[in-house]
Structure 1
Amino acid sequence: MAELRDTHMTVHRFFSRLFASALATLVLALPLGAAAQGAKSVVSTERVRAELMAHAPDGVDPGKKVWVGLQLAHQPEWHTYWRNSGDSGLPTQLEWTLPPGVTAGEIAWPVPKKIPVGNLANYGYEGTVLLPVPLTITPAFKPSVLGSDLDVKLKAQWLVCRKECIPEEGEFALKIPVKSSTAINTKAFQAAFEAQPRPVLAGTQVITESNARVDGDSIKLSVQGLPVELRGKSLEFFPETPEVIETAAPWTQAWNGATWTASIPLSAQRSASPNVLPVVLASGTEGWRTELKVVGQWPQVAAAAGMTPALEVALRANTSSAPPSTPSLTLAAALVGALLGGLILNLMPCVFPILAIKIVGFTRHAEDRRAHRTAGLAYTAGVIVSFAALGALMLALRAAGEQLGWGFQLQSPAVVAALAALFTLIALNLAGLFEFGSFVPSSVASLEARHPAANAFLSGVLAVAIASPCTAPFMGASLGFAIGLPAVEALLVFAMIGLGMALPYLAASWVPAIARLLPKPGAWMDTFRKLMAFPMFATVAWLVWVLGQQSGIDGAAALLVLLVAMSMVVWALTLRGRARSVIAVISLAAFGLLAWAAGPNITRALPAQTAQAEGGAWQAWEPGRVDQLLASGRPVFVDFTAAWCVTCQYNKKTTLSRDDVMGDLSAKNVALLRADWTRRDPAITAALGQLGRNGVPVYVFYAAGKAPVILSEILSADEVRAAIARL
């Protein structure tokens, strides 16, 4: 019975020692997804070779011409996008980090080409293109004492497409000598400068008689001052303002003497009504740019409910209104939803054992109500503070420019592996393999005994660390709403999740009637404790499967091997006599060797997946794909999911794989897209944000002329079939 009397305190001690390492691993591993590789001047993928180049023929001094640029060399049939990508796609984004006194200008976009995609048309580049950017060197720029280089850093994101689209990114670094010329890339930059559209001029004056006249559902262009050699030739037309014209629709053009005219259909779901329309006219690889004053009244924009997601993004860029599909929540409703979601967390396999053992501990000291109440308050404080801290971390990273959503910590294989190791240790402790108190000095054990409130607080911190994988499915609407709130109100939502999670233990510690419902102490408590080890082992199995989705079968196998080796180390440390030293040294050496040999497989990224998602009917989601399918006349169903999302996997097995559901989808010719958020994907994060959500699962039906329909997070076949019937 001595062991039984120590069970509750042993769990407390174990939690208090593990929480620090778990939380530190969690926090330190978060930046790994964003900076897994060191910056360099060249980044190569299977589709694009990207290189940061510089052109400073006269050195780097105030007033001198200094250019930098990202060169994209595409594989055959692949392309990236112009500043206005057309019907789908995204323009290349460049984010510069420069020393004080140096500023970067805008991209000097070369003339694009029209790229047909089925019934759509995009504007972009094939082959090799250089996107030059001018640097302004001010007198405030001072080279470092230790060197004479201008350090240029770039974080770039581009969407590369063929039939499928893949978002890619790279971090680049370059040193430009200050006192000597940098002319090695002269040829590439000269070609890029020649590919720039030239201004439309008449002598030395910009033409003012040119205009764009709105006429019903079309816009009529009149451009003067084009070169004489162009007269009579057909020109390509590229508006810099997106979502104004029907990009792929037929249009007419003609020459009236020296004036080029055209009539182009307007988009029925236009996202902008500019007073000035910047345009580029091109003949082959040559182009001319002008800004046309808009004459006439723009027609009324079609109802927002009929917008496609791409148009919705453009509209939100010009207005502050929320998308029409965003659930209407008040702060009070979000707080109630967060509270209920936190309560549900206690039923998760990784959380329930902790809560159950802590409450069972009341049976041993039922008469010590003051201690129980103190422990309940401390545990609640630990849970609430931890949820608020995790929410604050995510909000801070998002404010710094990171594209993150709730559940972001599980998008890092290092965090998944650390949690699997933590849960394995907890399971081994609950199973009785070791007692944590035997590994710490008696002075530390007595210190813990004198501060039970601190132990309870740390238990709350650890509970949040292991519960966070299960939060998003129950609170998607509340969390999505919270991200758009001021920081204080957003943190209040996160704190309410913590209060909901801690509420059962808090109630049990303050209400004697609850403790009296528990059975009397006895041998059953040791059996119950060991039984609770199995939900923990099941959670480990799930985490290994999650890692397999992120890093492949080799990563999952490496994690399993290391968990076995770690278990052997723990077992060796429980031995007595000479055997302990010998076996412990051998097991530690084996663990170190395996970590060195197999450990890198855990964080190794899988090659980009371009094939269909699992299941023959499902395709992989990609930016712009929904718009393409809607334009072809098909409704679309998108499953935003992740391997680490328990509710996602439950819905997939119980609802989305049912024959009657799949039959209804097929009968309506619904295109099925699966957006896999298992690893960090800024494009999916942005798409979730457009829907007012910040975590998975999210299930959305799109149909032309209708607002997107967002289904419940816990699906039922009846709900899905009813939504299909309304398409």
Structure 2
Amino acid sequence: MPVLSSTALLPRLRLTAFFALLSALALACLLLFSGSAQAQIQLKLGSAQAATAAPGASATVETPRVRAELVALAPEGIAPGQPLTLGLRIHHQPGWHTYWKNAGDSGLATQLTWQLPAGITAGDIAWPMPQQIRVGDLLNYGYEGTVLLPVPATVAAGFAPDAQGMVRIQLQASWLVCRVECIPEDGSFTLDLPAQGSVAMAAADFAAAARQAPQALQGEARFTVLPGGERLQLQVNGLPATAQGQTLAFYPESSDTFRHAAELGKDWTQAWKGATWTAELPLSEMRGDTPASLPVVLGLPTAGSDVAHAPPTQAWRMEAPVEGQWKAVQLATVSPALAAALEANRNAATPAAPAPTASASSLWLAVLGGLIGGLILNLMPCVFPVLAIKLLALAQPGTAPAARHTAGLAYGAGVVLSFLALGGLLLGLRAAGDQLGWGFQLQSPAVVALLAALFTLIGLNLAGLFELRMLLPSRWASAQARHPVVDAFLSGVLAVAIASPCTAPFMGASLGFAVGMPAVQALTVFAALGVGMALPFVIVGWVPALLRWLPRPGAWMDTFRRAMAFPMFATVVWLVWVLGQQSGIDGSAALLGLLLLLAALVWALTLQGRSRWALGALVLALTVWLLPTAGRLVVQPVEAATSASAGHSTALWQPWSAERVASLQAAGQPVFVDFTAAWCVTCQFNKKTTLSDTEVLADFAARQVQLLRADWTRRDPAITAELARLGRSGVPVYVLYAPGKAPQVLTELLSTTEVRQALAAL
């Protein structure tokens, strides 16, 4: 059998310098996109993404579900004493809705925060009447179609426009838009208005909103607590003749006082006695103490419609005093988890206290976790081929011991410094206010696409399609041999770039603990992760006896090298799938097309003579021509047709939200949450094994556990904040919430035995 010499094998081993350059480009792209508006996108809870707008960019924000626009009405111009009304106009796509000031059994009211010039003050939203929206056993109050939320504004006597005679109106708005699933969205709006002249383009919408607003009741109304303290009687006098004798719709403005989903004629009744309207209404199980009065609205339904759906044609608002005292629900019935969430909300506006210094024992445990996790990273399919080939190069006959020592130390320095750079970037962005966790680099479609291109080139090189000497001038291609220390260092950078997303399954607790530490201690944990990953290569470089354990060089090395191309191509398949969760099927197809052109370009450059330049120029021109369109498809997030939770029916796994968990806990129902992401391999493995196990699913059903899935494929600050609260900084994370107990965080490598034991303890 022929034996390959070291000189024959050397060109095939010279892949690091070329790919380390691409790795550096990937890290640079990560630095760019982590701070850009692209990285500010929020996800649907389970599978979709929420909308944002660049500050000052536009008066309109569009999402797949709504089109929101900042509008104004100033018929006499913007001047002291003249009327000025601002508003947010929301056009909903069919089937979607947002919420009234009282959302009902679920949902959140739209919130508006104004940034106005000195001398202009915005009032409260003059809410138009909503419709009643039933979803299963829940009743909500909200808007479908198009609605304008008007806000009256006051122009003070000292107001003056800017030097150009313009007035800049800025608004930060957030809303919850729901169909069956619910998606939190927000937008930044800017509207520049001339101070002189009439602004009345939306006058018709403002007039319609004014007609839809409830009128103040001119008569009298009062509530009376009925015996037993569980029901209220409402008596109203003074309703206009058009309402008398009609069935009226009831809209409470307080969210936790009445049972919103109570059915007319079954759970509550109404009747007319002459001009007096009387109703008996059930109180909510979540009510608090008896207030002095309650604000409510009565609506007259549209002719020919039922009470429960269409917005009323007329409505009357009243503040009715309450006579008597009902039986308040004791705070003890609120679960500890809900109480903790409420306390966190109350403290959200206060400055965070400095991070406490970790105890010596906990710090050393985190460091030990980092070392072990780093060692395991060397076995990852995308890391092992690079490491194995570097080790075989280290074992080449004739390599001086000093060269092995230097190569080992340089590789270790590249690994450790890269982990410190990524850790420092994460800590810096979090300190600047970004809600990020470990693995955040794969939440950018551009970084995913760049990594797919990197792995494609590595795979093509390992498969033997090209060598560097075929593509680059000989002086550049031989730079690796002339600078072995730089080559080894860049090998460490490359290893970290392709391995960092795989750390969460082994480092979830340690990394979650680290990001809450002071910077020095946190970076110590990241350094330990790098030391663990670099340790095998460094030890082999310094202990010659270990080299005897490596196979002798031979023809098998060429076969092994080509075989290592397939784990790289498998990684590309996975990255394309990840991108599909972020940018949809069109984004995946565009990336595959670009990778095909990349492979064709590399092949063309391996040819000789005129064919090399002719075909290379043709492929390059085609790539440049297609890149703007394909690149836009790759990086443009869309609502995924199937989320990372695919594989389970929506009836089984529901989208996660902190409010959903709190409400289920308050109702005494256990909850199991799967924090996952499409780019997390361990998440997908657990999903297809433990979380699909028939016995585990039967235990969930038997104990009536609500299953929720928090999809972190794209950035979601709410999920990031919840992971931080649980002491984690990456996925997978599995949490079981039992009524009256603290949340139980299970291990990342989930087993059926662990899940069933946790469920048995409920």
TM-score normalised by L of structure 1? 0.78
- Aligned AA for 1:174? L
1:465 is displaced (CA, Å) by 2.4
Question: 1:160 and 2:177 equivalent?
Answer: yes
Match of 1:697 among 732, 735, 754: 732
Kept in 2: contact 1:166–1:622 (CA 8 A) = no
Question: 1:13 and 2:17 equivalent?
Answer: yes
Relative distance call for 1:490 and 1:150 in structure 2 (3 A) is farther
1:651 is displaced (CA, Å) by 0.9
Relative distance call for 1:372 and 1:707 in structure 2 (3 A) is same
1:423 is displaced (CA, Å) by 0.7
How many Å separate the matches in 2 of 1:723 and 1:23? 41
1:581 is displaced (CA, Å) by 1.2
1:31-110 equivalent positions in 2, closer than 5 A: 31=36, 32=38, 34=40, 40-43=58-61, 47-60=65-78, 66-74=84-92, 78-94=96-112, 107=125, 109=127
Deviation larger for 607-616 or 421-430: 607-616
Question: 1:395 and 2:419 equivalent?
Answer: no
Question: 1:302 and 2:332 equivalent?
Answer: yes
1:343-362 equivalent positions in 2, closer than 5 A: 343-362=375-394
Kept in 2: contact 1:56–1:183 (CA 8 A) = yes
Aligned to 1:653: 688
Question: 1:367 and 2:371 equivalent?
Answer: no
How many Å separate the matches in 2 of 1:725 and 1:228? 59
- Aligned AA for 2:423? A
User: 2:331 is paired with a residue of what secondary structure?
Assistant: coil
User: 1:538 is paired with a residue of what secondary structure?
Assistant: helix
- Aligned AA for 1:281? V
How many Å separate the matches in 2 of 1:14 and 1:178? 60
Aligned to 1:206: none
1:194-213 equivalent positions in 2, closer than 5 A: none
Match of 2:581 among 529, 549, 557: 549
1:32-431 equivalent positions in 2, closer than 5 A: 32=38, 34=40, 40-43=58-61, 47-60=65-78, 66-74=84-92, 78-94=96-112, 107=125, 109=127, 115-126=133-144, 128-133=146-151, 148-154=165-171, 156-170=173-187, 172-189=189-206, 192=209, 238=252, 265=283, 267=285, 280-284=295-299, 285-288=315-318, 301-302=331-332, 305=335, 307=337, 313-319=341-347, 330=362, 332-364=364-396, 365=399, 367-368=401-402, 370-392=405-427, 394-396=429-431, 399-400=433-434, 403-431=435-463
Aligned to 2:647: 614
How many Å separate the matches in 2 of 1:166 and 1:333? 39
How many Å separate the matches in 2 of 1:494 and 1:103? 49
Kept in 2: contact 1:197–1:286 (CA 8 A) = yes
User: 2:15 is paired with a residue of what secondary structure?
Assistant: helix
How many Å separate the matches in 2 of 1:498 and 1:197? 64
- Aligned AA for 2:108? L
Q: 1:392-431: CA deviations, max 9, x gaps?
A: 354156x05xx54433332333322221111111222233
Deviation larger for 577-586 or 102-111: 102-111
Q: 1:367-408: CA deviations, max 9, x gaps?
A: 1155235414422343233322441354156x05xx544333
1:467 is displaced (CA, Å) by 1.9
Relative distance call for 1:372 and 1:410 in structure 2 (3 A) is closer
Deviation larger for 440-449 or 551-560: 440-449
- Aligned AA for 2:342? A
1:585 is displaced (CA, Å) by 1.6
Kept in 2: contact 1:90–1:158 (CA 8 A) = yes
How many Å separate the matches in 2 of 1:193 and 1:496? 64
Match of 1:676 among 711, 725, 744: 711
Q: 1:133-169: CA deviations, max 9, x gaps?
A: 4667789998666x54434454543222244334444
How many Å separate the matches in 1 of 2:465 and 2:24? 22
1:18-33 equivalent positions in 2, closer than 5 A: 18-30=22-34, 31=36, 32=38
Relative distance call for 1:276 and 1:628 in structure 2 (3 A) is closer
Kept in 1: contact 2:463–2:562 (CA 8 A) = yes
How many Å separate the matches in 2 of 1:572 and 1:265? 76
How many Å separate the matches in 2 of 1:373 and 1:675? 41
Relative distance call for 1:559 and 1:384 in structure 2 (3 A) is closer
- Which 5+ residue runs of structure 2 have no aligned equivalent? 42-51, 300-314, 353-358
1:267 is displaced (CA, Å) by 4.9
User: 2:99 is paired with a residue of what secondary structure?
Assistant: strand
Relative distance call for 1:374 and 1:627 in structure 2 (3 A) is closer
User: 2:14 is paired with a residue of what secondary structure?
Assistant: helix
Relative distance call for 1:373 and 1:171 in structure 2 (3 A) is same
How many Å separate the matches in 1 of 2:209 and 2:362? 52
- Aligned AA for 1:318? R
Aligned to 1:466: 498
- Aligned AA for 1:79? H
How many Å separate the matches in 2 of 1:709 and 1:217? 38
Q: How many residues matched? A: 704
1:692 is displaced (CA, Å) by 4.8
User: 2:749 is paired with a residue of what secondary structure?
Assistant: coil
- Aligned AA for 1:677? W
How many Å separate the matches in 2 of 1:390 and 1:67? 44
Aligned to 1:534: 566
How many Å separate the matches in 2 of 1:485 and 1:134? 47
How many Å separate the matches in 2 of 1:199 and 1:331? 63
Kept in 2: contact 1:115–1:121 (CA 8 A) = yes
Kept in 1: contact 2:229–2:325 (CA 8 A) = no
1:716 is displaced (CA, Å) by 0.9
1:538 is displaced (CA, Å) by 1.2
1:554-569 equivalent positions in 2, closer than 5 A: 554-569=586-601
Kept in 2: contact 1:115–1:124 (CA 8 A) = yes
- Aligned AA for 2:23? F
How many Å separate the matches in 2 of 1:640 and 1:526? 42
- Aligned AA for 1:14? F
Deviation larger for 174-183 or 113-122: 113-122
User: 2:332 is paired with a residue of what secondary structure?
Assistant: coil
- Which 5+ residue runs of structure 1 have no aligned equivalent? 204-209, 323-327
Q: 1:438-468: CA deviations, max 9, x gaps?
A: 5445665677666554444443333332223
1:675 is displaced (CA, Å) by 3.8
How many Å separate the matches in 1 of 2:431 and 2:321? 40
Aligned to 2:312: none
User: 2:648 is paired with a residue of what secondary structure?
Assistant: coil
1:191 is displaced (CA, Å) by 5.2
User: 2:492 is paired with a residue of what secondary structure?
Assistant: helix
Kept in 1: contact 2:414–2:491 (CA 8 A) = yes
Relative distance call for 1:722 and 1:575 in structure 2 (3 A) is same
Q: 1:489-542: CA deviations, max 9, x gaps?
A: 555544444344334334444555545644455555444433332211110111
**Paired-residue identity, %:** 51
Q: 1:48-100: CA deviations, max 9, x gaps?
A: 44222122344345786644321224466643224553442233244666678
Question: 1:589 and 2:607 equivalent?
Answer: no
User: 1:129 is paired with a residue of what secondary structure?
Assistant: strand
TM-score normalised by L of structure 2? 0.75
How many Å separate the matches in 2 of 1:139 and 1:454? 69
